[in-house]
Amino acid sequence: MRSWPVAAIVAVGGLALGFALLSGPDPNQVPTSDQVANRMMSPFCPGLTLEECPSGQSSRVRAEIDRLVARGATNAEIDRWIVDNYGEVALARPGGSLAWITPPLLAIAGLAAVALILRRRVKPAAGPEPEELSERDESRFEQDFGRFQKGSE
Amino acid sequence: MEISAAGQAILVAALACAVWSTLSSGLSVKGNDRRLALSGERALFATGFLILCATVLLVYAFYTRDFSLVYVHGYSSRSTSPVYTLTALWAGMEGSLLFWTLLSALYAVSAIAVQRKRRPDLTPVATGTLAGIIAFFIAVLVFGANPFDALSPIPGDGAGLNPLLQSPFMAIHPAMLYLGLTGFAVPFAFAVASLVTGRLEAGWFTSTRRWTVLAWSFLTVGIILGGAWAYMELGWGGYWAWDPVENASLLPWLTGTAFLHSVMIQERRQMLKIWNVALILGTYCLAIFGTFLTRSGLLSSVHTFSESPVGKMFLPFLAVMLVFAFGLLGWRYEKLRSERHLESMFSREAMFLFNNLLLVTIALTVLWGTLYPIMVEAVSGAKISVGPPFFNTVVGPMGLALLALTGIGPLVAWRRASWRSLKRELFLPLVAGFATVAALGFNGVRSAGAMFGLGLTSFVAVATIGEFARGARAHRGKGLLGYPRGLVTVISGNRRRYGGYIVHLGVVLICLGISGTAFRQSWSGDMLPGDSFTIGRYEVTYERARTFTTDEKAVRMAVMAISQDGRPVRSLTPQRNIHLAQDQPQSEVGLRTTLSDDLYLVLTQMDSTFAVTMRAWVNPLVAWIWIGGVFMALGMLVILSGKPPTQRGVSPGSGRAEKPVPVSV
């Protein structure tokens, strides 16, 4: 009873950390144009990705990306092209692991806090597990409760 | 008297009243001076009246086209329609701050007027806190963003309203958002009052629960309307961009949602008192933080029209609020500690705890992602972005876990649940979930996210509908209409509970709509009249161009013939217009909405030969997001239509009977 919250934290935390570390696109893979447009911030529409930007100028950047993809450029090469031409600010996925690791760490810290609270504060009530009501008793209870609610309106 | 001078004089008088209200209410607590407390309340009412006068004066200036005011000149013109002349009030920084102050004042006056008799023990401190907040906003208006600044010489016409803001959604969305954000000031003030006076057991939250639900409801509707506005007006094919300003409204919504759930544990089991106070204090601090973020121009955003240097004034205010509120919480920490214990990990209380953990972690993650570019720039000087890929990847899984808890939570009993009972309740929802996943797989869907999302959506939908069915069965009458009558009886008998379930159904429908993103298709390309393309089940043909000029704009329109599954349907006419007064281009979306998908056309360019650059999306299931929003609003109305709450074992006026706690403030 007492050890399962710790096991849950380790399992969820491990999964979350692994997920965070592996979440980026494979640098050696050739992406589709849509994948690139979804992870590039538009230089012409503040706060929007290239995929979402309705500006006419964004079409020219998309055409450029189409050419790179057609030539077989990998994710790493395209990201380098984006940074060289538009700066690091145009990458919608932040580089560096700190941005990605922090949310799972927050979740783990929260789970640890809950587990701590529960370890200290869960006190099983005396007596056996609550007995299951039979179908017949449950039906009687529901009908009585319904009558009680109608009567209290 | 000139309107500018009159407006400024009213604002200064309102500031004086608000400051007096803060001081007298605060001082009344120390000596338990009823006369000072009464004076504070009256000063607050006077502040509200004066702010209302200032707002009416500004609206009057708009309708009389008084361009002697910089603000009226900047956000209206003689051709602005009557409706948008009114909504121009909150179109810019100065007016929107005045509107925010008005709503804060109206909430404060209403809450104090109602609670002064019910909770006279808490109202002096609550009055002082609310008046202090309002005083700050009036000070910003007077010293930083005055809507009554005069313009000389007086121009013959105004600059007009930003065309993006001339939309029915934009007319309502900011008002709803502000009604939500400002409303959290009421529970914040009463939480502060309970901490200051030490009356921590007497249900400060039950006194203000309806205000909290009201604020949360407005915020929810405001966020959904904002999404609808972005979708239908901004022309980028989506409804949520994880834009910093959008995130700023989401943060207090998340913590407010957590509070509305966890407060039930305190009501039923007198537990989580520290957590609940922290949540509501944090929620209002996040609302103020959002205002700071929106108005500081600190981050690049699609909401750039609301940037201003007054953002700097918010930072010290936010710091004072945080130190004051959480300082009080630390001071009362020992008194708030619960003597009660959870009896089982397998109980409704524990489910709420996990629900809260997820909501708060999502809030912290969104906050982290929003502030990360500022922190990186401050430390290394590098400019970076945190865009949708980050938020979707990190928040998505937590959102799915939260959705699962939405289905499981209501099935688990308070105190201690039994496995056997839960297994029986979970059977049908699990079958529905797995059947959905199997059906999707059978139809060739391979996206794990979509399968998981839609499977969970089915699971929660069946679990929630099951709750209605169980209630209706218990109250059913005889005959054909037995079950519907039972349903009405059960909902009207426990509006809070079943209103909450209707809200949950709304959330399920919104999740269904969001899941559709996985099947989104897009197309972009250049076209000449006569050209066609196919996207999803639609064939789109560029028939002809139309160009004309009205008083307000030069219109360039592409008439697009649409055929759906081979059958011709209504044409769409996406436009690229130039608004003459502002010389600003704007796209009007061509949109065909059905329950299964939306065809969304955006004309990004049209040259003199009528060659166009067109972008098209097929967005599956988006309509369910708006339907889910309607369900959520309906659920909130059901909750709010119930009887005012009373805490178990504590009558609403019991604060009077409680022994006063010595205060040294």
In the 3-class helix/strand/coil scheme, how is B59-75 assigned residue by residue?
HHHHHCCCCCEHHHHHH
**Two tokens, residue B302:** 């699609």
Angle between helices B34-63 and B3-31 (to 10 degrees): 160
| Residue of A34, A91, A130 lying closest to B385 (CB–CB) | A91
Checking if the pLDDT of B649 tops 50, the result is no
Q: Specify which residues B605 forms β-bridges with.
A: B613
pLDDT attached to residue B305: 45
Please state the rounded mean pLDDT for residues B498-514.
Answer: 95
- For residue B234, give the DSSP letter: I
Q: What is the pLDDT along chain A (153 residues), one digit of tens a residue?
A: 455 555 666 666 666 656 655 567 788 888 998 889 989 999 888 888 998 887 778 888 988 999 999 999 999 999 999 999 999 999 998 887 788 888 888 888 888 887 777 666 666 555 555 555 665 676 677 667 666 655 544
Q: Specify which residues B535 forms β-bridges with.
A: B538
| Residue of B343, B361, B522 lying closest to A124 (CB–CB) | B343
Q: Which of A22, A122, A133, A153 to mutate to test the interface with B (most CBs of B within 10 A)?
A: A122
Q: Nearest residue of A to residue B342 by CA position?
A: A122
pLDDT attached to residue B302: 47
| Residue of A107, A114, A129 lying closest to B418 (CB–CB) | A129
The whole-angstrom separation of Cα B144 and Cα B244 is: 23
**Two tokens, residue A50:** 């290239």
Q: Nearest residue of A to residue B353 by CA position?
A: A114
Checking if the pLDDT of B623 tops 60, the result is yes
Residue pairs between chains A and B whose CB atoms are closer than 8 Å = 160
The whole-angstrom separation of Cα A110 and Cα A106 is: 6
The whole-angstrom separation of Cα B440 and Cα B460 is: 17
By CB atoms closer than 10 A (0-12, 13-18, 19+), residue B156 is exposed
Residue A91 phi, psi dihedral angles, 5° rounding: -85, 120
Report the Cα–Cα distance between both ends of chain A, in Å, rounded. Answer: 43
The whole-angstrom separation of Cα B188 and Cα B181 is: 11
Is the CB of B416 less than 8 angstroms away from the CB of A125? yes
Q: Specify which residues B100 forms β-bridges with.
A: none
Q: Which of B234, B615, B641, B643 to mutate to test the interface with A (most CBs of A within 10 A)?
A: B615
Checking if the pLDDT of B160 tops 80, the result is yes
Please state the rounded mean pLDDT for residues B626-643.
Answer: 93
Is the CB of B389 less than 8 angstroms away from the CB of A51? no
Please state the rounded mean pLDDT for residues B200-229.
Answer: 87
Please state the rounded mean pLDDT for residues B573-589.
Answer: 85
CB B218 within 8 A of CB B183: yes
Contact list, B476 vs chain A (CB under 8 Å):
146
Its pTM stands at 0.88
Q: Specify which residues B546 forms β-bridges with.
A: B557
Across B533-548, b (16+ Cβ under 10 Å) vs e yields: eebbebbbbbbebeee
ipTM: 0.78
Angle between helices B168-183 and B93-118 (to 10 degrees): 40
With H, G, I as helix, E, B as strand and everything else as coil, classify residue B222: helix
Listed in sequence order, the DSSP H helices in B270-347 are 273-296, 311-331, 333-336
The DSSP bridge pattern shows strands B553-564 and B532-535 to be unpaired
Contact list, B394 vs chain A (CB under 8 Å):
20, 100, 103
The whole-angstrom separation of Cα B79 and Cα B187 is: 42
Q: Which of B233, B355, B366, B394 to mutate to test the interface with A (most CBs of A within 10 A)?
A: B394
User: Of A130-134, B252-256, B294-298, B306-310, which has the strongest mean pLDDT?
Assistant: B252-256
Q: How many CB atoms lie within 10 A of CB B423?
A: 10
